[in-house]
Structure 1
Amino acid sequence: MMSFATPKLIDIVKKQFLFKWKGYRTFFTNLVILQAIAIIFSLGGIGSSSHGREGVNVSESIYSADFVLAFTMLWAFIVAILLTSKAYREADFVFITNRFTAQLANVAFLFTISVIGAITAILSRNLLWMITYFSSDNITFVKEAALHPSEYVMGGIATILYVFLFSAVGYLLGSIVQMNKMFAFILPVVFIALLILFGMQEQYLLLWLHEFYYQEDSFIWWFVKTGFTATAFFIASFYLLNRQEVSK
């Protein structure tokens, strides 16, 4: 008997999301490997100082999960690019679906792995401290910077959004490359040319991006800027991929 029930949008997206969650577990294996490598790079600390008096020498080292976060953002960036590839896009059609629901599921998946990646990156700081403490032959004191609970919450949200923003950038670049494979060679050249151009004008593009997204004093305004940028990138990606499907 033929069913005339129309699948709901949320149900289709949910099924596709669960399919990706179960089928793309190798992504998380890669995350663990990258974060482990980043922790090894971080064991030397990001800064140190020493001073002594009356035969007592004291050395201080600053440890941070910045390397782990950088590797996590790179991981999210690569995963997003892979999701736009033909092989991954064709895998979506094992379900009754269309390009819009498939991309919504991709965004949901990318946001979920951004949350997981951000949380593990934050927790890696404690692991880094433990490794440093137990591997040191000298007396070691571990002191964390005093922060208000709200600062921890905002820091966690910021970390998640940074990872998600990088996934949005990767998704957009992947969408552009899918339109024409030549863009895989053109885009790096354009990026380098922009760096040179801005450098000649004594305006450094990377420095401007750092100040615009990282040194914003207002958390709310930073949240709006970052969220808007990620949303704009995904909307542009939707348009490009939908256009590609229609033109086939």
Structure 2
Amino acid sequence: MMYLTKVSLLDVVAKQFRFKLKSFRGMFTSLMLLQVMAILFSLGGEGGGGGGSDTFSYDMKFYSGNIIMAFMLIWAFISAIVVTTQAYRYDDYAFVANRLSSHLANILFLGWASVIGGVTFALASQSLKLSVLFLKDREFIESHPLTLLQMTEGLAATILYLFLFTAIGYLVGMLVQWNKIFMIILPGLLFGSLFLNVLLGSESTFVIDIGQFFVRETSFLLFTLKVLLASALTYGIAAWVSNSLEVRK
């Protein structure tokens, strides 16, 4: 007698997630390479000053992880676009799966990638400090020593920012897969709005205003809610767009 085994959605998502961890190992290799590049760029400092008198002089430079963070946000954005490409979408057909399980597995993977990115960012920031101490032969003075709570919130905020950028990249990737015209429309809208604001002499742009909506939030709880809701909405729109994509035969 033969029995039909019903595969649960959770089991399918778990299998797809494990498969994606193996398939996208190169993504984490590129993350490490980008972080090394970012550290090298950061060694030049982000400004500084100096002064002195007849008896002494001093030179001061400011270092931060801003450049490293910028590289990582770009990595998160591009990585999410790669996940949406047709070749990787077709890999899901190796499983008894549907669009829902595929999207859930992708979101789970990108969430895990954001966690890895956040943890390695903290390590890269510490590596920058050590590099300044040993390579620049100067004393490193931390202007604002962080408490354990602030460090924890900083790590969580980094992960959330990366996750938000994966959501944006995922939506952009799905739009491009839906219609290639978006490869022209999206950059055109971005650079067109920047050019228009330069002509009008405005310091505010649509992109900057959206960014400030998150950056200026002083409450960590509200910031978390904003990022999670925005990410959920963005992923939801991407999933809705994907319903219009052709079904593989």
Q: TM-score range by the shorter chain?
A: over 0.9
Q: Which residue of 2 aligns with 1:47?
A: 47
- The aligned residue for residue 115 of structure 1 is 115
Distance 1:2 1:178 in 2: 41
Give deviations 1:66-92, integer Å, cap 9, x for gaps.
111111111111111011111000011
Please tell me whether residue 209 in structure 1 is matched to residue 210 in structure 2. Answer: yes
In structure 1, C-alpha distance between the alignment counterparts of 2:76 and 2:22, rounded to whole Å: 17
Query: Is 1:25 aligned with 2:18?
Result: no
Q: Secondary structure, in 3 states, of the residue corresponding to 1:224?
A: helix
Task: Note the 1:1-248 alignment, pairs <5 A.
Answer: 2-53=2-53, 55-137=55-137, 139-143=138-142, 145-198=144-197, 200=200, 202=202, 203-245=204-246
Q: Distance in 2 between matches of 1:143 and 1:180?
A: 49
CA distance in 1 between partners of 2:224 and 2:135 (Å): 39
What secondary structure sits across from 2:216 in the alignment? Answer: coil
1:242 maps to a residue whose letter is: N
Mapped to 1, the partners of 2:52 and 2:42 lie a distance apart of 25
Alpha-carbon distance between aligned partners in 2 of 1:197 and 1:132, rounded to the nearest angstrom? 41
Moved more, 237-246 or 27-36: 237-246
Identity of aligned residues (%): 38
Between the two proteins, the alignment pairs up a number of residues equal to: 247
1:201-221 Cα shifts (integer Å, max 9, x gaps): 834223312321111122222
Conserved 8 A contact 2:129-2:140: no
Letter in structure 2 aligned against 1:59: D
- Measure the CA separation in 2 of the matches of 1:216 and 1:180: 35
CA shift in 2, pair 1:201/1:48, >3 Å: closer
Aligned equivalents of 1:136, 1:191: Cα separation in 2: 39
Give the Cα separation in 2 of the matches to 1:178 and 1:210: 26
Q: CA RMSD in A?
A: 2.0
Measured at CA, do residues 51 and 42 of structure 1 come closer, stay the same or move farther in structure 2, by a change above 3 Å? same
Q: Alpha-carbon deviation of 1:50?
A: 1.8
Q: Which shifted more, 187-196 or 91-100? A: 187-196
**CA-to-aligned-CA distance 1:45-103 (integer Å, 9 cap, x gap):** 11212232452222222211111111111111111101111100001111111111011
What secondary structure is seen at the aligned counterpart in 2 of 1:58? strand
- Equivalent residue letter for 1:160: I
TM-score (norm 1): 0.92
Deviations 1:176-230 (A, max 9, x none): 0111112111211122223344553834223312321111122222222111111
- 1:2 Cα shift? 4.2
Give deviations 1:94-144, integer Å, cap 9, x for gaps: 11111110110000000000111111112111111111111134x424436
**8 A contact 1:69–1:118 mirrored in 2:** no
CA distance in 2, matches of 1:131, 1:90: 43
Q: Distance in 2 between matches of 1:103 and 1:15?
A: 13
Structure 1 unaligned blocks of 5 or more = none
SS in structure 2 at match of 1:244: coil
Please tell me whether the aligned partners of residues 198 and 205 of structure 1 are also in contact (alpha carbons under 8 angstroms). Answer: no
Letter in 1 for 2:165: F
Note the C-alpha offset of 1:246: 5.8
**Matches of 1:136 and 1:76, distance apart in 2:** 31
TM-score, length basis structure 2: 0.92
